[in-house]
A and B are shown apart, each in its own frame.
Chain A
Amino acid sequence: MSKETFKWEIRLSGSGGQGLITAGIILARAAVLDKLLVTQTQSYGPESRGGYSRADVIISNKEFYYPEAVNFDVLLSLTQDACEAYAKNLKDSGILIADTTNVKNIVPMNAKIYELPLTEIAMEKLGTILPTNILSLAFLVKITGVVSESSLKKAVSDSLKPQFKNLNLKAIKIGFELANRYKK
Protein backbone atom coordinates (compact mmCIF):
# COMPACT_ATOMS: atom_id res chain seq x y z
CA MET A 1 0.00 0.00 0.00
CA SER A 2 1.23 3.49 -0.76
CA LYS A 3 2.28 5.60 2.19
CA GLU A 4 0.03 8.46 1.15
CA THR A 5 -2.65 9.03 3.76
CA PHE A 6 -6.29 8.98 2.78
CA LYS A 7 -9.63 9.37 4.51
CA TRP A 8 -12.98 8.53 2.97
CA GLU A 9 -16.12 9.96 4.57
CA ILE A 10 -19.02 7.98 3.16
CA ARG A 11 -22.72 8.44 3.84
CA LEU A 12 -25.28 5.84 2.75
CA SER A 13 -28.71 7.44 2.94
CA GLY A 14 -32.32 6.60 2.28
CA SER A 15 -35.26 5.35 4.29
CA GLY A 16 -35.63 2.68 6.96
CA GLY A 17 -35.84 -0.87 5.57
CA GLN A 18 -33.59 -0.28 2.54
CA GLY A 19 -30.70 -2.05 4.25
CA LEU A 20 -28.38 0.94 4.44
CA ILE A 21 -27.10 0.16 7.92
CA THR A 22 -26.43 -3.44 6.83
CA ALA A 23 -24.54 -2.08 3.83
CA GLY A 24 -22.56 0.22 6.13
CA ILE A 25 -21.60 -2.66 8.42
CA ILE A 26 -20.51 -4.76 5.42
CA LEU A 27 -18.41 -1.90 4.03
CA ALA A 28 -16.80 -1.47 7.46
CA ARG A 29 -16.10 -5.22 7.69
CA ALA A 30 -14.45 -5.08 4.26
CA ALA A 31 -12.27 -2.21 5.50
CA VAL A 32 -11.21 -4.29 8.52
CA LEU A 33 -10.29 -7.14 6.15
CA ASP A 34 -8.14 -4.62 4.23
CA LYS A 35 -6.48 -3.73 7.57
CA LEU A 36 -7.73 -0.15 7.43
CA LEU A 37 -9.06 2.01 10.25
CA VAL A 38 -12.82 2.43 10.17
CA THR A 39 -15.82 3.65 12.14
CA GLN A 40 -19.40 2.91 11.22
CA THR A 41 -22.21 4.92 12.78
CA GLN A 42 -25.86 5.35 11.98
CA SER A 43 -28.83 7.54 12.57
CA TYR A 44 -32.41 6.47 12.32
CA GLY A 45 -35.81 7.17 13.80
CA PRO A 46 -37.89 4.97 16.09
CA GLU A 47 -39.61 3.24 13.13
CA SER A 48 -38.38 -0.15 11.85
CA ARG A 49 -39.48 0.71 8.28
CA GLY A 50 -40.02 4.08 6.66
CA GLY A 51 -38.68 7.26 8.18
CA TYR A 52 -35.16 8.34 7.38
CA SER A 53 -32.09 6.16 7.80
CA ARG A 54 -28.43 6.72 7.22
CA ALA A 55 -25.18 4.91 7.82
CA ASP A 56 -21.81 6.66 7.93
CA VAL A 57 -18.58 4.84 7.24
CA ILE A 58 -15.23 6.56 7.63
CA ILE A 59 -12.28 4.65 6.26
CA SER A 60 -8.68 5.80 6.58
CA ASN A 61 -5.12 4.51 6.82
CA LYS A 62 -4.34 7.11 9.51
CA GLU A 63 -5.84 7.46 12.99
CA PHE A 64 -8.89 9.72 13.17
CA TYR A 65 -11.25 10.46 16.03
CA TYR A 66 -14.66 11.87 15.13
CA PRO A 67 -16.89 8.94 14.09
CA GLU A 68 -19.59 10.63 11.98
CA ALA A 69 -19.21 11.80 8.38
CA VAL A 70 -19.33 15.60 8.16
CA ASN A 71 -18.17 16.50 4.64
CA PHE A 72 -18.74 13.52 2.41
CA ASP A 73 -16.37 12.14 -0.20
CA VAL A 74 -19.16 9.83 -1.27
CA LEU A 75 -22.91 10.17 -0.81
CA LEU A 76 -25.24 7.35 -1.80
CA SER A 77 -28.88 8.43 -1.84
CA LEU A 78 -31.68 5.97 -2.41
CA THR A 79 -34.47 8.50 -1.78
CA GLN A 80 -35.25 12.06 -2.86
CA ASP A 81 -35.50 13.24 0.77
CA ALA A 82 -32.10 11.86 1.67
CA CYS A 83 -30.51 13.36 -1.45
CA GLU A 84 -31.95 16.78 -0.67
CA ALA A 85 -30.99 16.63 2.99
CA TYR A 86 -27.36 15.62 2.54
CA ALA A 87 -26.20 16.88 -0.88
CA LYS A 88 -25.10 20.20 0.63
CA ASN A 89 -22.47 18.42 2.73
CA LEU A 90 -20.91 16.68 -0.25
CA LYS A 91 -17.40 17.87 -1.04
CA ASP A 92 -16.87 19.61 -4.40
CA SER A 93 -14.43 16.84 -5.21
CA GLY A 94 -16.93 14.23 -3.99
CA ILE A 95 -19.14 11.67 -5.65
CA LEU A 96 -22.93 11.44 -5.57
CA ILE A 97 -24.55 8.11 -6.43
CA ALA A 98 -28.29 8.68 -6.82
CA ASP A 99 -30.90 5.99 -7.30
CA THR A 100 -33.09 7.59 -9.97
CA THR A 101 -35.87 5.13 -9.17
CA ASN A 102 -36.64 7.49 -6.30
CA VAL A 103 -34.38 10.52 -6.78
CA LYS A 104 -35.98 12.74 -9.42
CA ASN A 105 -34.33 16.11 -8.83
CA ILE A 106 -30.70 16.74 -8.05
CA VAL A 107 -29.56 20.21 -7.07
CA PRO A 108 -26.68 21.61 -9.16
CA MET A 109 -23.34 20.70 -7.63
CA ASN A 110 -19.65 20.43 -8.41
CA ALA A 111 -19.39 16.84 -7.26
CA LYS A 112 -19.35 14.06 -9.80
CA ILE A 113 -22.82 12.55 -10.18
CA TYR A 114 -23.71 8.99 -11.08
CA GLU A 115 -27.43 8.71 -11.80
CA LEU A 116 -28.84 5.25 -12.29
CA PRO A 117 -32.06 3.43 -11.35
CA LEU A 118 -30.50 1.07 -8.79
CA THR A 119 -33.76 -0.25 -7.33
CA GLU A 120 -35.23 -0.89 -10.80
CA ILE A 121 -32.07 -2.66 -11.91
CA ALA A 122 -32.21 -4.92 -8.85
CA MET A 123 -35.86 -5.73 -9.54
CA GLU A 124 -35.23 -6.38 -13.23
CA LYS A 125 -32.05 -8.49 -12.89
CA LEU A 126 -32.64 -10.23 -9.57
CA GLY A 127 -36.43 -10.26 -9.34
CA THR A 128 -36.41 -8.47 -6.00
CA ILE A 129 -35.51 -5.04 -4.70
CA LEU A 130 -34.04 -6.49 -1.47
CA PRO A 131 -30.38 -6.53 -2.59
CA THR A 132 -30.47 -2.92 -3.84
CA ASN A 133 -28.27 -2.00 -0.87
CA ILE A 134 -25.53 -4.47 -1.79
CA LEU A 135 -25.81 -3.74 -5.53
CA SER A 136 -25.38 -0.04 -4.77
CA LEU A 137 -22.49 -0.72 -2.40
CA ALA A 138 -20.70 -2.81 -5.03
CA PHE A 139 -21.12 0.03 -7.53
CA LEU A 140 -19.72 2.46 -4.96
CA VAL A 141 -16.74 0.22 -4.18
CA LYS A 142 -15.89 -0.32 -7.86
CA ILE A 143 -16.12 3.40 -8.66
CA THR A 144 -14.08 4.54 -5.66
CA GLY A 145 -11.77 1.62 -4.88
CA VAL A 146 -12.25 2.45 -1.19
CA VAL A 147 -11.95 -1.23 -0.27
CA SER A 148 -10.81 -4.21 -2.30
CA GLU A 149 -13.40 -6.11 -4.32
CA SER A 150 -12.38 -9.41 -2.73
CA SER A 151 -12.84 -7.99 0.78
CA LEU A 152 -16.29 -6.73 -0.15
CA LYS A 153 -17.25 -10.20 -1.37
CA LYS A 154 -15.87 -11.82 1.76
CA ALA A 155 -17.61 -9.29 4.01
CA VAL A 156 -20.93 -10.04 2.29
CA SER A 157 -20.36 -13.79 2.65
CA ASP A 158 -19.41 -13.41 6.32
CA SER A 159 -22.29 -11.09 7.19
CA LEU A 160 -25.38 -12.54 5.55
CA LYS A 161 -27.41 -15.64 6.32
CA PRO A 162 -26.71 -18.54 3.89
CA GLN A 163 -30.09 -18.18 2.15
CA PHE A 164 -29.28 -14.61 1.11
CA LYS A 165 -25.64 -15.13 0.23
CA ASN A 166 -25.93 -16.13 -3.43
CA LEU A 167 -28.49 -13.45 -4.22
CA ASN A 168 -26.23 -10.78 -2.80
CA LEU A 169 -23.09 -12.12 -4.45
CA LYS A 170 -25.02 -11.81 -7.72
CA ALA A 171 -25.94 -8.26 -6.73
CA ILE A 172 -22.25 -7.48 -6.23
CA LYS A 173 -21.48 -8.79 -9.72
CA ILE A 174 -24.19 -6.58 -11.24
CA GLY A 175 -22.95 -3.56 -9.27
CA PHE A 176 -19.39 -4.12 -10.50
CA GLU A 177 -20.56 -4.52 -14.11
CA LEU A 178 -22.56 -1.30 -13.94
CA ALA A 179 -19.51 0.55 -12.64
CA ASN A 180 -17.36 -0.90 -15.42
CA ARG A 181 -19.55 0.86 -17.96
CA TYR A 182 -18.50 4.20 -16.49
CA LYS A 183 -14.83 3.31 -16.29
CA LYS A 184 -12.55 4.37 -19.07
Chain B
Amino acid sequence: MQSNKSKLKTVLMQGNEAIARGALAAGLDFFAGYPITPSTEIAEICSVELPKFGGKFLQMEDEIASISAIIGASLAGAKTMTATSGPGYSLMTEGIGFAKMTETPCVVVNVMRGGPSTGLPTKPSQADIMQAKWGNHGDAPAIVLYPNSVSESYELSIRAMNLAEKYRTCVVLLSDEVLGHMREPIELPNLANVKIVKRITPTKPPEWYQHYPDNPKYPMPKASFGEGYRFHVTGLSHDSKGFPTNRADETAVLMSRLRNKILHHIDDIVQLESFQMEDAKVAIFAAGITSRAAKEAVMIARKNGVKVGMLRPLTIWPFPDAAVRKLLEDQETIIIPELNEGQLSREIKRVMGCSWNSESKTCKYIVQLNKTNGQLITPEEIFNLIKEVI
Protein backbone atom coordinates (compact mmCIF):
# COMPACT_ATOMS: atom_id res chain seq x y z
CA MET B 1 0.00 0.00 0.00
CA GLN B 2 1.20 3.47 -0.78
CA SER B 3 1.24 6.05 1.96
CA ASN B 4 -1.30 8.84 1.97
CA LYS B 5 1.39 11.32 1.05
CA SER B 6 1.91 9.64 -2.31
CA LYS B 7 -1.70 10.32 -3.33
CA LEU B 8 -2.85 13.80 -4.20
CA LYS B 9 -6.60 14.01 -4.64
CA THR B 10 -9.58 11.99 -5.78
CA VAL B 11 -11.12 12.93 -9.11
CA LEU B 12 -13.71 11.38 -11.39
CA MET B 13 -11.93 10.14 -14.50
CA GLN B 14 -12.72 8.18 -17.63
CA GLY B 15 -10.78 5.01 -18.43
CA ASN B 16 -9.37 6.43 -21.66
CA GLU B 17 -8.28 9.60 -19.89
CA ALA B 18 -6.54 7.47 -17.26
CA ILE B 19 -4.57 5.68 -20.00
CA ALA B 20 -3.49 9.02 -21.49
CA ARG B 21 -2.58 10.51 -18.11
CA GLY B 22 -0.77 7.34 -17.04
CA ALA B 23 1.38 7.44 -20.19
CA LEU B 24 2.11 11.14 -19.60
CA ALA B 25 3.11 10.34 -16.01
CA ALA B 26 5.48 7.67 -17.38
CA GLY B 27 7.21 10.21 -19.59
CA LEU B 28 5.31 10.06 -22.88
CA ASP B 29 6.87 12.56 -25.33
CA PHE B 30 5.21 11.65 -28.60
CA PHE B 31 1.81 10.37 -29.69
CA ALA B 32 0.76 9.72 -33.26
CA GLY B 33 -2.66 8.35 -34.02
CA TYR B 34 -5.78 8.22 -36.11
CA PRO B 35 -9.05 8.66 -34.21
CA ILE B 36 -11.39 5.70 -33.84
CA THR B 37 -14.23 4.98 -31.44
CA PRO B 38 -13.92 3.92 -28.63
CA SER B 39 -10.28 5.05 -28.24
CA THR B 40 -10.49 8.64 -29.50
CA GLU B 41 -10.35 10.35 -26.08
CA ILE B 42 -6.79 9.07 -25.61
CA ALA B 43 -5.65 10.94 -28.72
CA GLU B 44 -7.73 14.01 -27.80
CA ILE B 45 -6.15 14.30 -24.36
CA CYS B 46 -2.64 13.74 -25.71
CA SER B 47 -3.25 16.44 -28.34
CA VAL B 48 -4.04 18.92 -25.55
CA GLU B 49 -1.47 17.84 -22.96
CA LEU B 50 1.68 16.96 -24.94
CA PRO B 51 2.31 20.43 -26.43
CA LYS B 52 2.16 21.97 -22.94
CA PHE B 53 5.67 20.69 -22.18
CA GLY B 54 7.20 20.42 -25.63
CA GLY B 55 5.86 16.94 -26.43
CA LYS B 56 4.53 16.25 -29.89
CA PHE B 57 1.15 15.06 -31.11
CA LEU B 58 0.63 14.07 -34.72
CA GLN B 59 -2.67 13.12 -36.27
CA MET B 60 -1.70 10.79 -39.08
CA GLU B 61 -3.54 9.81 -42.26
CA ASP B 62 -4.16 6.25 -41.06
CA GLU B 63 -3.07 3.61 -38.58
CA ILE B 64 -0.15 2.30 -40.66
CA ALA B 65 1.31 5.80 -40.65
CA SER B 66 0.56 6.13 -36.91
CA ILE B 67 2.50 3.05 -35.85
CA SER B 68 5.30 3.97 -38.25
CA ALA B 69 5.50 7.47 -36.76
CA ILE B 70 5.77 6.24 -33.17
CA ILE B 71 8.49 3.74 -34.15
CA GLY B 72 10.45 6.50 -35.90
CA ALA B 73 10.04 8.88 -32.97
CA SER B 74 11.14 6.16 -30.56
CA LEU B 75 14.30 5.53 -32.63
CA ALA B 76 14.97 9.26 -32.33
CA GLY B 77 14.72 9.07 -28.52
CA ALA B 78 11.05 9.74 -27.68
CA LYS B 79 8.80 7.67 -25.45
CA THR B 80 5.86 6.89 -27.67
CA MET B 81 2.29 5.63 -27.73
CA THR B 82 -0.58 5.25 -30.15
CA ALA B 83 -4.18 4.23 -29.48
CA THR B 84 -6.73 2.54 -31.69
CA SER B 85 -9.48 -0.08 -31.81
CA GLY B 86 -9.86 -3.37 -33.71
CA PRO B 87 -10.00 -2.13 -37.32
CA GLY B 88 -7.02 0.19 -36.75
CA TYR B 89 -5.16 -2.46 -34.81
CA SER B 90 -5.36 -4.79 -37.81
CA LEU B 91 -3.57 -2.14 -39.89
CA MET B 92 -0.96 -1.61 -37.19
CA THR B 93 0.07 -5.24 -36.91
CA GLU B 94 2.71 -4.95 -39.63
CA GLY B 95 4.35 -2.09 -37.74
CA ILE B 96 4.03 -3.90 -34.40
CA GLY B 97 6.03 -6.79 -35.89
CA PHE B 98 8.63 -4.30 -37.13
CA ALA B 99 8.90 -2.70 -33.66
CA LYS B 100 9.38 -6.12 -32.07
CA MET B 101 11.97 -7.16 -34.69
CA THR B 102 13.92 -3.91 -34.41
CA GLU B 103 13.51 -3.89 -30.60
CA THR B 104 12.14 -0.38 -30.62
CA PRO B 105 10.10 0.51 -27.50
CA CYS B 106 6.54 1.73 -28.04
CA VAL B 107 3.05 1.20 -26.63
CA VAL B 108 -0.06 0.42 -28.67
CA VAL B 109 -3.43 0.76 -26.92
CA ASN B 110 -6.32 -1.28 -28.32
CA VAL B 111 -9.69 -0.29 -26.84
CA MET B 112 -11.66 -3.31 -27.99
CA ARG B 113 -15.06 -2.94 -29.66
CA GLY B 114 -17.39 -5.42 -31.33
CA GLY B 115 -16.04 -7.00 -34.52
CA PRO B 116 -15.05 -8.46 -36.93
CA SER B 117 -14.44 -5.52 -39.29
CA THR B 118 -16.04 -2.23 -38.21
CA GLY B 119 -18.57 -4.26 -36.20
CA LEU B 120 -20.04 -2.38 -33.23
CA PRO B 121 -18.10 0.89 -32.74
CA THR B 122 -19.84 1.86 -29.48
CA LYS B 123 -20.03 -1.61 -27.90
CA PRO B 124 -17.47 -3.60 -25.96
CA SER B 125 -15.76 -6.85 -26.87
CA GLN B 126 -12.76 -8.89 -25.77
CA ALA B 127 -12.21 -10.43 -29.16
CA ASP B 128 -8.69 -9.11 -29.83
CA ILE B 129 -7.00 -11.15 -27.10
CA MET B 130 -5.52 -13.57 -29.64
CA GLN B 131 -4.91 -10.80 -32.20
CA ALA B 132 -2.80 -9.01 -29.57
CA LYS B 133 -0.49 -12.03 -29.41
CA TRP B 134 -0.53 -13.39 -32.94
CA GLY B 135 -1.33 -10.23 -34.92
CA ASN B 136 2.11 -9.78 -36.43
CA HIS B 137 3.52 -12.23 -38.94
CA GLY B 138 6.55 -14.15 -37.79
CA ASP B 139 7.02 -15.52 -34.32
CA ALA B 140 7.78 -13.02 -31.59
CA PRO B 141 6.46 -13.11 -28.04
CA ALA B 142 4.17 -10.29 -26.97
CA ILE B 143 3.69 -8.35 -23.77
CA VAL B 144 -0.02 -7.55 -23.41
CA LEU B 145 -1.68 -5.98 -20.35
CA TYR B 146 -5.40 -5.59 -19.61
CA PRO B 147 -6.74 -3.55 -16.66
CA ASN B 148 -10.25 -3.75 -15.17
CA SER B 149 -10.79 -0.30 -13.63
CA VAL B 150 -10.06 3.35 -14.22
CA SER B 151 -7.30 3.49 -11.62
CA GLU B 152 -5.75 0.31 -12.96
CA SER B 153 -5.91 1.78 -16.50
CA TYR B 154 -3.68 4.53 -15.16
CA GLU B 155 -1.32 2.12 -13.41
CA LEU B 156 -1.02 -0.34 -16.30
CA SER B 157 -0.48 2.50 -18.77
CA ILE B 158 2.59 3.48 -16.72
CA ARG B 159 3.60 -0.18 -16.55
CA ALA B 160 3.19 -0.66 -20.31
CA MET B 161 5.47 2.33 -20.97
CA ASN B 162 8.02 0.97 -18.47
CA LEU B 163 7.99 -2.59 -19.83
CA ALA B 164 8.40 -1.25 -23.38
CA GLU B 165 11.56 0.58 -22.28
CA LYS B 166 12.92 -2.20 -20.11
CA TYR B 167 12.61 -4.95 -22.73
CA ARG B 168 12.83 -2.72 -25.81
CA THR B 169 9.68 -4.02 -27.41
CA CYS B 170 6.20 -2.99 -28.49
CA VAL B 171 3.83 -3.47 -25.54
CA VAL B 172 0.08 -3.73 -26.15
CA LEU B 173 -2.32 -2.28 -23.59
CA LEU B 174 -5.84 -3.67 -24.01
CA SER B 175 -9.00 -1.97 -22.84
CA ASP B 176 -12.60 -2.23 -24.00
CA GLU B 177 -15.42 0.15 -24.82
CA VAL B 178 -17.03 0.03 -21.37
CA LEU B 179 -13.74 0.32 -19.48
CA GLY B 180 -12.52 3.07 -21.81
CA HIS B 181 -15.65 5.18 -21.44
CA MET B 182 -16.46 4.35 -17.82
CA ARG B 183 -15.88 6.97 -15.15
CA GLU B 184 -14.76 6.17 -11.63
CA PRO B 185 -13.03 8.00 -8.81
CA ILE B 186 -9.26 7.77 -9.03
CA GLU B 187 -6.67 8.90 -6.53
CA LEU B 188 -3.98 10.47 -8.64
CA PRO B 189 -0.48 9.75 -7.37
CA ASN B 190 2.11 12.36 -6.65
CA LEU B 191 4.11 12.32 -9.89
CA ALA B 192 7.35 12.42 -7.92
CA ASN B 193 6.49 8.94 -6.59
CA VAL B 194 5.70 7.33 -9.95
CA LYS B 195 8.35 4.75 -10.81
CA ILE B 196 9.59 5.37 -14.33
CA VAL B 197 11.99 3.25 -16.37
CA LYS B 198 14.12 5.88 -18.07
CA ARG B 199 15.70 5.11 -21.40
CA ILE B 200 19.26 4.02 -20.75
CA THR B 201 21.69 5.43 -23.24
CA PRO B 202 24.94 3.59 -23.90
CA THR B 203 28.12 4.65 -22.09
CA LYS B 204 30.46 2.75 -24.42
CA PRO B 205 32.39 4.69 -27.07
CA PRO B 206 30.32 4.81 -30.26
CA GLU B 207 32.66 2.47 -32.18
CA TRP B 208 32.00 -0.33 -29.64
CA TYR B 209 28.25 0.19 -29.48
CA GLN B 210 26.08 -2.80 -30.35
CA HIS B 211 22.48 -1.79 -30.91
CA TYR B 212 21.57 -5.47 -30.59
CA PRO B 213 23.94 -6.87 -27.96
CA ASP B 214 24.48 -10.63 -27.91
CA ASN B 215 24.17 -10.81 -24.12
CA PRO B 216 21.84 -7.97 -23.21
CA LYS B 217 21.11 -6.68 -19.73
CA TYR B 218 17.66 -5.36 -18.85
CA PRO B 219 16.74 -2.54 -18.95
CA MET B 220 18.37 -2.83 -22.35
CA PRO B 221 20.30 0.31 -23.34
CA LYS B 222 19.39 2.04 -26.57
CA ALA B 223 21.16 4.78 -28.46
CA SER B 224 19.00 7.25 -30.33
CA PHE B 225 19.55 8.65 -33.78
CA GLY B 226 21.59 11.82 -33.70
CA GLU B 227 23.67 10.94 -30.65
CA GLY B 228 26.71 9.84 -32.60
CA TYR B 229 26.12 6.12 -32.36
CA ARG B 230 26.11 4.21 -35.64
CA PHE B 231 23.52 1.49 -36.05
CA HIS B 232 21.27 0.22 -38.75
CA VAL B 233 17.54 -0.47 -38.45
CA THR B 234 15.86 -3.03 -40.66
CA GLY B 235 13.05 -5.54 -40.49
CA LEU B 236 15.39 -8.06 -42.10
CA SER B 237 17.24 -10.48 -39.85
CA HIS B 238 20.19 -8.52 -38.58
CA ASP B 239 23.49 -8.75 -36.72
CA SER B 240 24.55 -6.93 -33.54
CA LYS B 241 24.99 -3.60 -35.41
CA GLY B 242 21.66 -4.01 -37.13
CA PHE B 243 22.91 -4.86 -40.62
CA PRO B 244 21.02 -7.51 -42.63
CA THR B 245 22.23 -11.05 -42.37
CA ASN B 246 21.27 -14.45 -43.77
CA ARG B 247 23.65 -16.30 -41.48
CA ALA B 248 21.96 -19.03 -39.50
CA ASP B 249 24.06 -18.44 -36.38
CA GLU B 250 23.33 -14.69 -36.28
CA THR B 251 19.63 -15.21 -36.98
CA ALA B 252 19.44 -17.82 -34.23
CA VAL B 253 20.93 -15.34 -31.74
CA LEU B 254 18.42 -12.68 -32.77
CA MET B 255 15.41 -14.99 -32.55
CA SER B 256 16.42 -16.44 -29.21
CA ARG B 257 16.94 -12.94 -27.79
CA LEU B 258 13.46 -11.86 -28.93
CA ARG B 259 12.00 -14.96 -27.29
CA ASN B 260 14.07 -15.17 -24.14
CA LYS B 261 13.90 -11.54 -23.12
CA ILE B 262 10.20 -12.15 -22.52
CA LEU B 263 10.14 -15.79 -21.42
CA HIS B 264 13.10 -15.52 -19.05
CA HIS B 265 11.50 -12.54 -17.33
CA ILE B 266 8.00 -13.92 -17.07
CA ASP B 267 7.93 -13.42 -13.28
CA ASP B 268 8.77 -9.77 -13.76
CA ILE B 269 6.11 -9.28 -16.43
CA VAL B 270 3.19 -11.37 -15.19
CA GLN B 271 0.61 -9.98 -12.75
CA LEU B 272 -2.38 -11.99 -11.51
CA GLU B 273 -5.15 -11.07 -9.11
CA SER B 274 -6.46 -13.87 -6.93
CA PHE B 275 -9.82 -13.01 -5.34
CA GLN B 276 -11.37 -15.24 -2.64
CA MET B 277 -9.58 -18.29 -4.07
CA GLU B 278 -8.31 -19.67 -0.73
CA ASP B 279 -11.29 -21.96 -0.05
CA ALA B 280 -12.93 -21.83 -3.50
CA LYS B 281 -14.41 -24.93 -5.13
CA VAL B 282 -15.43 -23.04 -8.23
CA ALA B 283 -13.06 -20.60 -9.94
CA ILE B 284 -14.01 -17.92 -12.41
CA PHE B 285 -11.19 -16.97 -14.77
CA ALA B 286 -11.91 -13.54 -16.21
CA ALA B 287 -10.06 -10.48 -17.52
CA GLY B 288 -10.82 -6.81 -18.10
CA ILE B 289 -14.39 -5.59 -17.82
CA THR B 290 -15.79 -9.13 -17.51
CA SER B 291 -13.85 -9.63 -14.28
CA ARG B 292 -16.01 -6.91 -12.74
CA ALA B 293 -19.08 -9.09 -13.30
CA ALA B 294 -17.10 -12.12 -12.12
CA LYS B 295 -16.20 -10.45 -8.81
CA GLU B 296 -19.82 -9.47 -8.23
CA ALA B 297 -20.83 -13.07 -9.06
CA VAL B 298 -18.34 -14.30 -6.44
CA MET B 299 -20.05 -12.12 -3.84
CA ILE B 300 -23.55 -13.29 -4.88
CA ALA B 301 -22.46 -16.95 -4.85
CA ARG B 302 -20.87 -16.68 -1.41
CA LYS B 303 -24.04 -15.07 -0.05
CA ASN B 304 -25.80 -18.18 -1.36
CA GLY B 305 -23.32 -20.50 0.32
CA VAL B 306 -21.30 -21.47 -2.77
CA LYS B 307 -17.53 -21.10 -2.37
CA VAL B 308 -16.48 -19.31 -5.53
CA GLY B 309 -13.28 -17.40 -6.26
CA MET B 310 -11.90 -15.44 -9.15
CA LEU B 311 -8.54 -15.47 -10.88
CA ARG B 312 -7.71 -12.52 -13.13
CA PRO B 313 -4.71 -11.99 -15.40
CA LEU B 314 -3.57 -8.36 -15.56
CA THR B 315 -0.92 -9.65 -17.95
CA ILE B 316 -2.62 -11.58 -20.74
CA TRP B 317 0.59 -12.33 -22.67
CA PRO B 318 2.92 -13.95 -21.91
CA PHE B 319 0.18 -16.21 -20.55
CA PRO B 320 0.89 -17.02 -16.91
CA ASP B 321 0.84 -20.81 -17.45
CA ALA B 322 2.56 -21.99 -14.30
CA ALA B 323 0.79 -19.65 -11.89
CA VAL B 324 -2.61 -20.33 -13.45
CA ARG B 325 -2.12 -24.10 -13.38
CA LYS B 326 -1.11 -24.00 -9.73
CA LEU B 327 -4.11 -21.90 -8.72
CA LEU B 328 -6.69 -23.77 -10.80
CA GLU B 329 -5.61 -27.41 -10.55
CA ASP B 330 -7.61 -28.18 -7.38
CA GLN B 331 -10.82 -26.55 -8.58
CA GLU B 332 -13.93 -28.67 -9.14
CA THR B 333 -15.19 -26.27 -11.78
CA ILE B 334 -13.61 -23.47 -13.79
CA ILE B 335 -15.89 -20.94 -15.45
CA ILE B 336 -14.49 -18.68 -18.15
CA PRO B 337 -16.78 -15.78 -19.12
CA GLU B 338 -15.52 -13.60 -21.96
CA LEU B 339 -16.82 -11.28 -24.67
CA ASN B 340 -15.59 -13.45 -27.55
CA GLU B 341 -16.08 -16.98 -28.86
CA GLY B 342 -13.58 -18.54 -26.44
CA GLN B 343 -10.07 -17.07 -26.54
CA LEU B 344 -9.01 -17.12 -22.87
CA SER B 345 -10.81 -20.44 -22.39
CA ARG B 346 -8.65 -21.89 -25.16
CA GLU B 347 -5.58 -20.94 -23.15
CA ILE B 348 -7.00 -22.38 -19.93
CA LYS B 349 -7.77 -25.65 -21.71
CA ARG B 350 -4.22 -25.73 -23.06
CA VAL B 351 -2.72 -25.00 -19.65
CA MET B 352 -4.91 -27.60 -17.95
CA GLY B 353 -4.04 -30.19 -20.58
CA CYS B 354 -7.35 -30.26 -22.45
CA SER B 355 -7.54 -30.09 -26.19
CA TRP B 356 -9.92 -27.72 -27.90
CA ASN B 357 -13.51 -28.95 -27.47
CA SER B 358 -12.15 -32.02 -25.73
CA GLU B 359 -14.78 -34.57 -24.74
CA SER B 360 -12.52 -36.10 -22.10
CA LYS B 361 -14.00 -36.25 -18.59
CA THR B 362 -11.17 -34.35 -16.94
CA CYS B 363 -11.90 -31.36 -19.14
CA LYS B 364 -15.67 -31.30 -18.61
CA TYR B 365 -15.23 -29.08 -15.57
CA ILE B 366 -14.01 -26.20 -17.71
CA VAL B 367 -17.11 -24.27 -18.75
CA GLN B 368 -17.22 -21.37 -21.20
CA LEU B 369 -19.59 -18.42 -21.09
CA ASN B 370 -19.31 -16.42 -24.29
CA LYS B 371 -21.14 -13.34 -25.50
CA THR B 372 -20.52 -11.46 -28.74
CA ASN B 373 -23.69 -9.36 -29.11
CA GLY B 374 -22.15 -6.13 -27.82
CA GLN B 375 -23.57 -6.47 -24.30
CA LEU B 376 -21.64 -7.19 -21.12
CA ILE B 377 -21.88 -10.52 -19.34
CA THR B 378 -23.79 -9.80 -16.12
CA PRO B 379 -23.08 -11.13 -12.61
CA GLU B 380 -26.47 -12.91 -12.68
CA GLU B 381 -25.57 -14.76 -15.88
CA ILE B 382 -22.36 -16.03 -14.29
CA PHE B 383 -24.13 -16.99 -11.06
CA ASN B 384 -26.87 -18.82 -12.99
CA LEU B 385 -24.20 -20.82 -14.80
CA ILE B 386 -22.51 -21.64 -11.50
CA LYS B 387 -25.83 -22.99 -10.17
CA GLU B 388 -26.24 -25.09 -13.34
CA VAL B 389 -22.82 -26.70 -13.24
CA ILE B 390 -22.17 -27.39 -9.56
- CB proximity to A under 8 Å, residues B160-199: 178, 181-185
Cα-based distance from A68 to B299 in the complex (angstroms) = 16
Cα-based distance from A134 to B122 in the complex (angstroms) = 25
Answer whether A41 and B299 are a contact pair too, CB < 8 Å, given A32-B10, A66-B379, A68-B376: no
Q: Mark B11-31, 1 if CB is under 8 A from A, else 0.
A: 110000000000000000000
> Which of B10, B121, B181, B183 has most A Cβ within 10 Å?
B183
Cα-based distance from A37 to B178 in the complex (angstroms) = 18
CB-based contact A40/B293 at 8 Å:
no
- CB proximity to A under 8 Å, residues B1-50: 10-12, 37
B interface secondary structure, majority: mixed
Answer whether A40 and B178 are a contact pair too, CB < 8 Å, given A25-B183, A65-B295: no
Chain B: CB-nearest residue to A44: B122
Answer whether A40 and B12 are a contact pair too, CB < 8 Å, given A64-B296, A66-B378, A68-B376: yes
CB-based contact A65/B122 at 8 Å:
no
A29: chain B residues within 8 A (beta carbon): 12
Cα-based distance from A46 to B289 in the complex (angstroms) = 21
CB-based contact A40/B183 at 8 Å:
yes
Out of B11, B178, B295, name the residue touching A68 (CB < 8 Å): B178
Chain B interface extent, by class: 20 to 34
CB-based contact A66/B292 at 8 Å:
yes
Chain A interface extent, by class: 20 to 34
Chain B: CB-nearest residue to A56: B182
Q: Which residues of A contact B (CB under 8 A)?
A: 25, 28-29, 32, 35, 37-46, 64-68, 70
Q: List 29 A-B contacts (CB under 8 A).
A: A25-B183, A29-B12, A32-B10, A37-B185, A38-B183, A38-B184, A39-B183, A39-B184, A40-B12, A40-B182, A40-B183, A41-B181, A41-B182, A42-B181, A43-B122, A43-B123, A44-B122, A45-B122, A46-B121, A65-B295, A65-B296, A65-B379, A66-B292, A66-B293, A66-B378, A66-B379, A67-B184, A67-B289, A70-B378
The 4 closest A-B pairs by CB, nearest first: A65-B295, A66-B296, A40-B183, A65-B296
Q: Which residues of B contact A (CB under 8 A)?
A: 10-12, 37, 121-123, 178, 181-185, 289, 292-293, 295-296, 299, 376, 378-380
